[in-house]
Structures are given as structure tokens and as C-alpha cells.
């Protein structure tokens, strides 16, 4: 199980770069060059972030992307949910059927606790906190 998929990783790197940029608008070309992310993947990811109102796009000459809201109001969990859906560690299946012991399973109870902790921690990580680190 991967906690962070490739799309989430690329989105996180792009959003952090835009947040740290001294330019008002960051072009796709600059993101591709500086982050070494394949252009086709990056364009798709940026479009999703624009639709989900994490980024705002500007078209035409001098166009590109800016954050749609302050970096301290964009959380890692937001990006995970956009690109991966809800974070679920305790989905137990047995032969494609929901496990009949789901209410009494001791492992499920432990996984639920871990899941809540992980979600709480990921919900506290902002783009601001990640952008503060030197790259």
C-alpha cells in the first residue's frame, strides 16, 4: 500500500513550487523544467487542481497557475483525497464480500485507531509548512 501515489506526489510538488515562487504566475513550462515532471502528467494534474479550486489558471501569453487560496489553507489530506479518494486503512474483505466479523474484529479496531491518527496528522500538514523546507 502506498500512502502517497505518483499523482499526489506530483500535485504536492507543483503546489509547493507555486507557493514558494516569487513570480505571480508560474507557467507549465517552468514547472516541467524545475520539477522534472512529464508535461502530459503535469497538465492533467494542474487541470484537476484548477477544477478543485486549489489552483487558479490564467490562459494566454504569460499564463500559468497561482494558488487559489492561501498556502496555509491547503492541506496534504486535501491533495490525497483529490487524487486518491478517502484514506481507508481498515477496509476488510473476504472473497469480495464484507467480512462477517467486522464489528468484533480486533484488527479492525486497531486499524481504525491508526487510520484516525494518520488522517489527523495529514490534516495538520499545510503547503506552507512543506514549502518552508529548502529543496
Q: Where are the domains of the chain?
A: 6-131
Q: How far apart are CA 130 and CA 75, in angstroms?
A: 10
pTM score, whole prediction: 0.85
pLDDT of residue 104: 81
Of 73, 93, 101, 76, the C-alpha closest to 13 is 76
Q: What is the CA radius of gyration of the chain?
A: 18
The second-level CATH assignment, the architecture, of 6-131 is Orthogonal Bundle (1.10)
H-helix or E-strand containing 16? helix 6-20
Q: How far apart are CA 13 and CA 66, in angstroms?
A: 14
Helix/strand/coil for 84: helix
pLDDT digits (tens, 9 = 90+) for 40-99: 999 999 999 999 999 999 998 889 999 999 999 999 999 999 999 988 876 665 555 666
Q: What is the DSSP string of 29-80?
A: HHHHHHHT--HHHHHHHHHHHHHTTSEEEE-STT-EEEESS-GGG-BHHHHH
pLDDT exceeds 60 at position 135: no
pLDDT digits (tens, 9 = 90+) for 85-106: 988 876 665 555 666 777 788 8
pLDDT of residue 81: 96
Lowest mean pLDDT among 32-36, 88-92, 112-116: 88-92
The mean pLDDT value for 24-28 works out to 94
pLDDT of residue 89: 73
Q: Give me the count of residues in the chain.
A: 135
Average pLDDT taken over every residue of the chain: 89
Torsion of CA 70, 47, 119, 9, to 10 degrees: -100
Amino acid at each position: 500500500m502506498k500512502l502517497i501515489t505518483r499523482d499526489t506526489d506530483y500535485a504536492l510538488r507543483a503546489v509547493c513550487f507555486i507557493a514558494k515562487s516569487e513570480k505571480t504566475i508560474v507557467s507549465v513550462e517552468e514547472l516541467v523544467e524545475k520539477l522534472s515532471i512529464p508535461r502530459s502528467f503535469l497538465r492533467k494534474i494542474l487541470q484537476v487542481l484548477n477544477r478543485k479550486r486549489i489552483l487558479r489558471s490564467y490562459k494566454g501569453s504569460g499564463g500559468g497557475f497561482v494558488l487559489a487560496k492561501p498556502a496555509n489553507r491547503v492541506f496534504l489530506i486535501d491533495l490525497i483525497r483529490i487524487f486518491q479518494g478517502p484514506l481507508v486503512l481498515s477496509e476488510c474483505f473476504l472473497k469480495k464480500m464484507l467480512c462477517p466479523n467486522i464489528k468484533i474484529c480486533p484488527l479492525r479496531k486497531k486499524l481504525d485507531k491508526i487510520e484516525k491518527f494518520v488522517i489527523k496528522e495529514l490534516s495538520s500538514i499545510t503547503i506552507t509548512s512543506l514549502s518552508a523546507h529548502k529543496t
